[in-house]
Amino acid sequence: MEDKRNRGRRITDRITEAYYELMKIVAENNHERMFEYYVEDDEAYIFKIVNSSPAQETVYPFFKQNIDTYMSECPADSIECFKKQLDKCLLRPMRTAFQLSFISEDGKSRPVEMYMVSIPDLDKKVCMVVGVMFDIRDEKGLLDSLTGTYNHLAFENKCTSLIRQKGTKLLFVMLDVDDFKIVNDTLGHNVGDRVLSQTGQVLKEAVGANGIVGRLGGDEFAAIVFGLEDSDAVDEFCVKLSGRLKNIIFDMEYSASIGMTTGDDRELTFKDLYYEADQAMYYSKRQGKNRISFFNSIRKNDITVPHNSCAPSITDVSCRMSDREIFSYDEMPDYILAVDEESRRIVFVNKAIRNSSVMTASQIDEFISKPFEDGFIDLFLRKKEQGNRVSVFSGKDHPDNIVAKLLGEKKLIIKLNHKDYNGYRLLKMIDLSDESKLNAVMRRIISYRAFMQNFIDAVNDTTEGLGYRNYLRLLREFYNADCVAVIYNGESAWDTIEEIHIPSAKIMAKVVNESVSRGAITDFLALFNDTGRVFISDIQSIEGEYRDLFKRMADVRIWSTSAVLLNKGEQCFGVIVVMNPRANSGSLDLIEMIGISISNSLFYEKARAEYEYRLNFDQVTGLRKRETFNNLGESYVEYDCSFMGVFASDIIRLSDINEKFGYMAGNARLRMVADVIRGVFTGYDIYRYEQDEIVVFCKDIDKKSFMGLVRIVRESLDDLDVSVSIGFSWTDKPDIARQLSEVRLMYDIEKDAKLKSLDSIMRNKVFKDVVSEIEKGSFMVYYQPKVDSRTGITVGAEALIRFFDEAYGVVGPIHFIEILEENRCSHLIDLFVLDEVCKAQKLRCISDRRVVPVSVNFSKNTLEYADLLDHVKEIMNRYDLPEGLVQIEITESVGDMDIVLINNIAQSLISMGFRLSMDDFGTKYSNLEMLFKFPFSIAKIDRSLVKNLESNEKSRIMLKHLISMIMELGIECVAEGAENEEQVRLLQQFGCNIIQGYFYSKPVTLDVFTSEFVEKTRNQL
């Protein structure tokens, strides 16, 4: 059953699942039974929820076809009703509520009300139907035990049913008890419960028989009222409700924020009414609490994005304030004025000014369209320079000032903000004659002081394991929010969250957690402006531009949010999000302060973690360093280990690979070996012990298991394109030093045997009859791209030889080139490579595909081969290629050969259509005289000059001038051996743009080179 339930959870729509979780909570709290039906299996379950888990389950297999049998004790009409509702739920995702008689545990028939939800899979087909059954003999299961009002789920379903029956000529009420947490904290939960009970009773008395009342959670109530025929009846209801609420008496003054909306026969759902009344309730909170607000009124006056006339024309002033910033300032109860000091214009006045101004709306627009007079802002700047960011201003004393012209003779507290808001000065003003605003300011000051003290306490709290929950708790209390979360920006995704929420926001928090774990917050991050802040007081403001985000937020009842990015320099560690703030919602300063503290902590945590990682782990393989093992000392084995298996591997001739092909090639082979060993010895201690040695310590492993792992890792390593020797040791008397000596001796013996075997194979199998091995296909040509670093387009390649052996796989030239040269038969390989390259180039020319030049290496021995030119000419005549498609690379070591001979060969090759390239330029025989002696058109910088480029200043100076001289001689410059981005950048800076190296690609087969490098870049040309 549990596997089936988990499967259903994975394919469920998240919002529907949240509704399902709510049903489980209600069922558990009211000791009611739940119903689950799995469509695919035609199987149903009826159970109770105990400690959040199913209990007392009854299974009904082949349910659909046997409903009549399973419900045979129920009345016939109940059976038909149940079947009809189940069929409806199976047609499409929906919710339904109905009544029937059901057989209880004692075998007796009882009336129940059943709420049923169909759950879709990813293809939007119904895969599961869930329901909860309430005993309605006395409606006990539908009621909140403390207040006697309907619980959340029952209220929503009752309202939906009533709206369907009676229409939307109704009044929907939301009520939130103000400062309820303070009541609980100061007077105790018993008093708090009494306040909630009395609130519920007052609402029921006010509504009477005209509607129903529900407790939605915590201190939040709702009611739906019918029969109020006109606005006078609505006003009478409000007066009656207010009067009754005043009768709630305890040791503090009772206060409640109330929001209302009227249906007015509009086509509305429960969710629509809830949204409107909830917004009106929040507005009451923001306006100072203890008041009633109607959605229609605040929508007209306060929840409307300001018209463009509020801001200057784009031709007059570069508009730097975003719409969302304007929106957040526009709804603040304080007077807000923004000025652009450069253009001497007022760029914004908020609604509070417009509603209180002595001017008309048209006069205000005309007035702010003109530049303000000199000295307007200076009055406040002088006070700021004197250290007074806040000052008292009287319009009576300064009648010519713009503030006075807008607001008359009001006496104001004016704050000149210490920040520039995207280049604009912001003046915040509070009317001293408005008592409610002064009281709100005083409450805010008191809240700030309490917050700061608590913040200091939280910073000094050294209790481990709390994470940042202390900070989140402070923010939730200060903003009186439903939920506050820190979402962390991980290595690859925003997928970790730490949050704190009020009990009634459990479902909201659950859905937010799941959204973050799926990385589904990209559209929310798009809301942030350049300052890294976002404030949405009403999600309707984003409905047009962010439709999907609006829907997701509305579904879990997030109506407003404030958020700040956790930035430190160029790094972003995450974001703090405050959901549904009911107090101090206009200010993000304290969120920013908390954010700075968390960002600093995360920055130093990350820096410390990176330092510790670099200290303890090898950067190439990700394995522990030998030093970390040495730090453990003898205690690693002596006191907590009965058996010990030690395994070690050594990469044969790794130093030769590094020397010949660069450290990137060597590191790639190290990583391959490390990945294999790590994959086999999972859970054991693995170290990169020496440059080419990896050691594994297997504590408390039996011999059979250890030898099994050794066998697996040997087979896996044999499949790699690198030769590795291994050693191993197992004992029931652990001794690290002795066992390390044993495994090293073992892998040294194996290494010697492999090298002798490989050398023997190369000599006996290849070099006794090179021509035969060529004909058998044992030799293969690989291609390493040459790339124009400015465009990323492949402009050429170097052809390189490889040998394939059935026992050892692909063998690099490091194992056979010297032997070839010793036996003076390297010319056979060079001519074979030339033939293969010309053949491939001809095929591409015939098929009219893109062709890039390919260079072929001629060794010193090849150039000394007497019949070289005849063989080359025969190959070129056979394929008849256009000039320039094949290049010949000649090493600088020809510097000690006969100059006349080399010159004659070079001129002959050029006459056949080849371009000549000096290979390994800058090594043993390096001097610019070589470029004068021989007709080279290309010079290839040797990898030895490139590998230390980023760390060696002398190398940079020398290479910079070397490249400059090559180019001044009119010779094309190519660099090989580039392994990282910094080397490529420096080579570009010095003027060398054609680059070959592992940064772009290792040598690859012809098919891979053609498809991945030649054809892919064709479209870029």
Residue 176 lies in a domain: yes
Beta-carbon-side half-sphere exposure of residue 238 (alpha carbons within 13 Å) = 21
* 635 pLDDT above the threshold of 60: no
Whether pLDDT at 860 is above 60: yes
Q: What is the 3-state secondary structure (H, E, C) of 171-215?
A: EEEEEEECCHHHHHHHHCHHHHHHHHHHHHHHHHHHHHHHEEEEE
List the structure tokens of 694.
């990896």
- Interhelix angle 180-187/189-207, rounded to 10 degrees, is 140
Neighbours of 855 (CB within 10 A): 26
Examine the domain organization and report whether 250 and 176 are in the same domain: yes
Whether residues 543 and 485 fall in one domain: yes
- Is 809 inside any structural domain? no
Task: Using CB atoms within 10 Å of the CB of residue 433, give its burial: 0 to 12 exposed, 13 to 18 middle, 19+ buried.
Answer: exposed
Q: What percent of the chain has pLDDT over 90?
A: 13
> What is the longest distance spanned by two Cα atoms in the chain?
118
Tokens read off for 715: 């087979």
Which stretch of 50-64, 284-298, 807-821, 835-849 has the lowest confidence by average pLDDT?
Answer: 807-821
Least confident of 544-558, 704-718, 906-920: 544-558
517 shares its domain with 548 = yes
> Rounded to an integer, what distance in angstroms lies between the CA atom of residue 624 and that of residue 687?
5
pLDDT at 321 over 50: no
Residues 6+ apart with CB under 8 A from 724: 649, 650, 651, 652, 673, 717
Question: If residue 362 lies in a helix (H) or strand (E), which one and from where to where?
Answer: helix 361-368
Q: Is residue 867 part of a domain?
A: yes
Tokens of 295: 């959605």
881-909 average pLDDT score: 82
The enclosing domain of 461 has a CATH number of 3.30.450.40
Between 828 and 26, the higher pLDDT residue: 828
Q: CB of 648 within 8 A of CB of 694?
A: yes
User: Which residue would you say has higher pLDDT here, 601 or 434?
Assistant: 601
In eight-state DSSP terms, residue 733 is: S
Percent of the chain topping pLDDT 70: 78
Between 276-290, 845-859, 978-992, the lowest mean confidence (pLDDT) is in 276-290
Q: How confident is the model at residue 382 (pLDDT cuts 50, 70, 90)?
A: low
Shared-domain flag, residues 482 and 418:
no
Contact (Cβ atoms closer than 8 angstroms) between residue 390 and residue 380: no
**Residue 49 to residue 55: CA distance in whole angstroms:** 6
- Residue 318 confidence (pLDDT): 30
Check whether 726 has a pLDDT greater than 60: yes
Domain containing 981 equals 825-1016
Taking the C-alpha atoms of residue 644 and residue 666, their distance in angstroms, rounded to an integer, is 31
Residue 161 has pLDDT above 80, yes or no: yes
Rounded average pLDDT over 281-306: 67
926 versus 596: which is more confidently predicted? 596
Q: Is 570 exposed, middle or buried (0-12, 13-18, 19+ CB in 10 A)?
A: exposed
pLDDT on residue 7: 43
From 764, 787, 813, give the residue that closes a domain.
764
**Could you say which of 87, 103, 135 is where a domain stops?**
135
Looking only at the bridges linking them, the beta strands covering 533-536 and 496-501 are: unpaired
CATH of the domain at 912: 3.20.20.450
**Residues 130, 164: one domain?**
no
Residues 107 and 208 in one domain: no
Instruction: State whether 609 and 631 are in the same domain.
Output: no
pLDDT band per the 50, 70, 90 thresholds, residue 333: low
**What burial class does residue 338 get, using C-beta atoms within 10 Å of its C-beta: 0-12 exposed, 13-18 middle, 19+ buried?**
buried
- The count of structural domains within the chain is 6
Given a cut of 80, whether residue 694 has pLDDT beyond it is yes
Mean pLDDT on 932-953: 84
Query: Residue 85: pLDDT above 50?
Result: yes
Please check whether residues 285 and 192 belong to one and the same domain. Answer: yes
**DSSP code string of 426-462:** EEEEEETT-HHHHHHHHHHHHHHHHHHHHHHHHHH--
Residue 68's SS3 state is helix
Assess whether 641 and 684 both reside in one domain.
Answer: yes
Per the domain annotation, does 1021 fall within a domain? Answer: no
**CATH number for position 423:** 3.30.450.20
Question: Nearest to residue 288, comparing CAs of 357, 330, 252, 334?
Answer: 334
Mean pLDDT of 839-865: 89
Stronger pLDDT, 150 or 638, i.e. the higher one? 150
pLDDT at 8 over 50: no
pLDDT at 975: 93
Q: Tell me: the pLDDT tens digits for 639-663?
A: 467 888 999 988 887 776 776 566 7
670 or 32, which is more confident? 670
Q: Which of 622-626, 659-663, 845-849 has the lowest mean pLDDT?
A: 659-663
CB 213 within 8 A of CB 222: yes
968 and 845 in a common domain: yes
Element (H, E) at 131: strand 126-135
924 with 872, same domain: the answer is yes
In-domain check, residue 800: no
**Last-in-domain residue among 407, 433, 459:** 433
Q: Residue 317: what pLDDT?
A: 30
CATH code for position 234: 3.30.70.270
Give the pLDDT band (50/70/90) at residue 308: very low
Most confident residue range from 81-90, 315-324, 326-335, 752-761? 81-90
User: Which residues are CB-contacts of 746 (< 8 A; sequence separation ≥ 6)?
Assistant: 726, 727, 728, 729
- Give the mean model confidence (pLDDT) for residues 666-682: 88
Distance CA 968, CA 960 (A): 12
Report if residue 676 sits inside a domain: yes
Dist. CA 841–CA 834, nearest whole Å: 11
- Determine the pLDDT at residue 564: 86
Out of 170-179, 349-358, 465-474, 532-541, least confident range: 465-474
pLDDT value of position 4: 52
The secondary element (H helix, E strand) that includes residue 903 is helix 899-911
- What pLDDT band is residue 188 in, cutting at 50, 70 and 90? confident
> Between these two residues, 435 and 423, which has the higher pLDDT value?
423
Long-range CB pairs of 910-913 (<8 Å, 24+ gap) are 910/935, 912/872, 912/873, 912/876, 913/876, 913/881, 913/882, 913/883, 913/884, 913/885, 913/886
CB 386 within 8 A of CB 411: no
Q: What is the mean pLDDT of the chain?
A: 78
Q: Rounded CA gap, 475 and 495, in Å?
A: 22
Residue 916 has pLDDT above 80, yes or no: yes
Mean pLDDT of 754-771: 61
The residue count of the chain comes to 1021
Per-residue confidence band for 786, with pLDDT thresholds at 50, 70 and 90: very high
Structure tokens at 387: 């250290």
Burial of 44 (0-12, 13-18, 19+ CB in 10 A): buried
Residues 726 and 840 grouped into a single domain:
no
pLDDT beyond 60 at 1019: no
Residue 803 lies in a domain: no
In-domain check, residue 769? no
What local confidence, expressed as pLDDT, does residue 854 receive?
95
Q: In what order do the strands lie in the sheet with 724-731?
A: 624-625, 685-688, 693-699, 644-651, 724-731
With a threshold of 0.75, does the pTM exceed it?
A: no
Per-residue confidence (pLDDT) for residue 388, from 0 to 100: 47
Residue 610 identity (one-letter amino acid): E
Residue 572, classified by CB atoms within 10 Å of its CB into exposed (0-12), middle (13-18) or buried (19+), is middle
Q: 216-266: per-residue pLDDT in tens? A: 888 899 999 999 988 888 988 998 898 888 888 776 678 888 999 998 888
